[in-house]
């Protein structure tokens, strides 16, 4: 892939469950809410510039820390 993809928050919960499992998906969303707040607008604003690669790195970091 040559272009950098910008992530959006419209990822269905089912996609997170498929990738992380239900328990980890819930923990992941909990971590995101703690870090960025519960408002969709706040979350969208906080994550609108993140790339897929940055999100993947954050998920891997949280997995290594046992948080998800």
In a domain, 7, yes or no: no
In a domain, 56, yes or no: yes
Per-residue pLDDT band for 2 (boundaries 50, 70, 90) equals very low
In a domain, 8, yes or no: no
In a domain, 38, yes or no: yes
In a domain, 3, yes or no: no
In a domain, 23, yes or no: yes
State the sign of the Cα–Cα–Cα–Cα dihedral 37, 27, 50, 41.
negative
* Domain total of the chain: 1
Domain boundaries, position 17: 13-64
Q: pLDDT (tens digit, 9 = 90+) per residue, 17-67?
A: 888 899 998 888 888 778 776 676 777 777 788 888 888 898 899 999 998
For residue 1, the model assigns a pLDDT of 44
In a domain, 5, yes or no: no
In a domain, 6, yes or no: no
Q: Measured between alpha carbons, how far is 15 from 4 in angstroms, rounded to an integer?
A: 21
């Amino acid at each position: 892939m040559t272009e950098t993809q910008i992530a959006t928050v419209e990822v269905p919960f089912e996609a997170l469950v498929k990738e992380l499992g239900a328990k980890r998906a819930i923990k992941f969303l909990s971590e995101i809410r703690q870090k960025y707040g519960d408002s969709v607008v706040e979350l969208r604003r906080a994550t609108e510039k993140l790339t897929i690669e940055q999100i993947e790195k954050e998920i891997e970091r949280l997995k290594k820390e046992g948080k998800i």
